[in-house]
Copies of this chain bind each other. A is one copy, B any other.
Amino acid sequence: MAGVSVASVSRFINSPDKVRAETRERIRLAMQECNYRYNYVAKVFATQRTQTIGLVIPTITNTVFADSTRGLQDEATRRGYQVLMVNADYDPDAEGELVRHLLERQVDGLVITASDPHGAIAGELATAGIPAVFLYSTLSEGPVSSVGIDNERGGFDATAHLADLGHERIAMLAGSFTSSDRSRHRYDGYRRCLSERGLEFEPGLVVEIPYGLEHCREGVARLMEAAQPPTAIFASNDLMAIGVMGELRAFGLSVPRDVSVVGFDDVLMSSYVAPRLTTIRQPVYEMGRRAAQMVLDALDRGGQSVPRHLILDHELVVRESTASLRRA
C-alpha cells in the first residue's frame, strides 16, 4: 500500500531513523489509511521474547502486595519490561498452575510470593529455564533467588515488644501456615521470644485462620472466649490486625486498654485506623524493586546467574495499638 516491503515497515516501527524520511511518511500515511494496528503477539512469536516478567501474588485484597508490585513495576518499566500479574488466592496448587500458565505465555522471568518456597513450586521454577525469584520469603540458600526480610526475627520483635510492655499472655493470630511460610516463620519468632523471655507457650493462644478480614471473627472469638484470654495479640499481618481490632470492639473490648494488638507489614492504612496500629515495617516497595532488578540482571546476563538471597531490614513501628499491661 505504501509501496514498500514489510521489512521497511518493521524498520519504521522499531527504528524509524533507519528509513528515509520520505519513505517514513508514505508508511505513516498508509498506516493511517488502513487503520493499522501493531500485532504484539506476532512480534513475541517471532522474537521469542515477551519483554514481560510474570508476577504471582497471593491476593489482590491485601494492599502490601500492591505496594511491592509498584516497586517491581517501576523497575521493570524503567528497563523496558512489562509485568503480568496474577493472583493465586493463597492456594499452593493455584501457584503451580499459574506458573505453568505464565511460562506458556512466554514470560521472560518470574517473581513469585509462594506459599512454600520449599514445596513443589521450587522444582517447577528450577525446570522453567528462566530467571525466577521468590518475593517476601526468608531464604538464605537454595537454587532460586529470593528477596525478603527475616520473618522469624520480625515475629520475634513483634512479640518482644509486647513482652517488654509486661504482657505475659500473648496470643498469635496466624494466617494459615500451609498457605504462607511467612506466617510460619513469624510464628517461629513468636515461639523463640516466648521461650527466651521465660513465658510459657500455650497452644490455645495460637489460632491459625485463613487469610482475609472475614475470618478474624472466629479467630478472635476462639481467643477471647477462653477461660484465660490473652492480653495481647500478634497478628500475621496488618490486614488481620485491623480485623482483630474490629472484632475486639465487637466484643466490647478496647484496644489497647483491654488488649494490645500488633500487626506486620506497615501498610499505609495502618496509620489511619483508630487506634493507629503498632506493626513491623517491611520495605515492600524496595523489595519489589530488588526482585525485578534480580530477574532483569539475570536476563541481561543471558539468563544465567548464581542465585542470590537478599534479606532487607525490617523495623518495629510503635503506634497506639499497644500499651503496658494493666494488672488486675
Contact = CB atoms under 8 A, between A and B. Distances in A.
Interface of A: 35, 37-42, 44-45, 50, 60-61, 63, 66-67, 69, 84-85, 101, 103-106, 127, 213-214, 216, 242-243, 245-247, 249, 268-269, 271-276
Nearest to A239: B269
B66 A61 contact: yes
Nearest to A255: B274
23 contacts: A35-B127, A37-B103, A38-B104, A39-B106, A40-B104, A40-B105, A40-B106, A41-B41, A41-B106, A42-B45, A60-B69, A61-B63, A61-B66, A61-B67, A85-B85, A213-B269, A242-B269, A246-B272, A246-B273, A246-B274, A246-B276, A249-B274, A273-B273
Given A42-B45, A214-B268, 16 more contacts: A37-B104, A39-B104, A40-B101, A41-B44, A41-B45, A41-B106, A45-B45, A60-B60, A60-B69, A61-B67, A85-B85, A243-B272, A245-B272, A246-B272, A247-B272, A273-B273
A14 B226 CA distance: 55
A246 B269 CA distance: 9
Given A35-B127, A268-B214, A273 B41 contact: no
Task: Report, nearest first, the 3 A-B pairs whose CB atoms are least far apart.
Answer: A246-B272, A40-B104, A60-B66
Contacts of A42: 45
A269 B268 contact: no
B242 A272 contact: yes
Interface-centre pick from A41, A127, A214, A245 (highest chain B CB count, 10 A): A41
Nearest to A100: B37
A103 B250 CA distance: 48
A145 B272 CA distance: 37
Contacts of A104: 37-40
Contacts of A61: 63, 66-67
A38 B104 CA distance: 6
A17 B274 CA distance: 60
Nearest to A243: B272
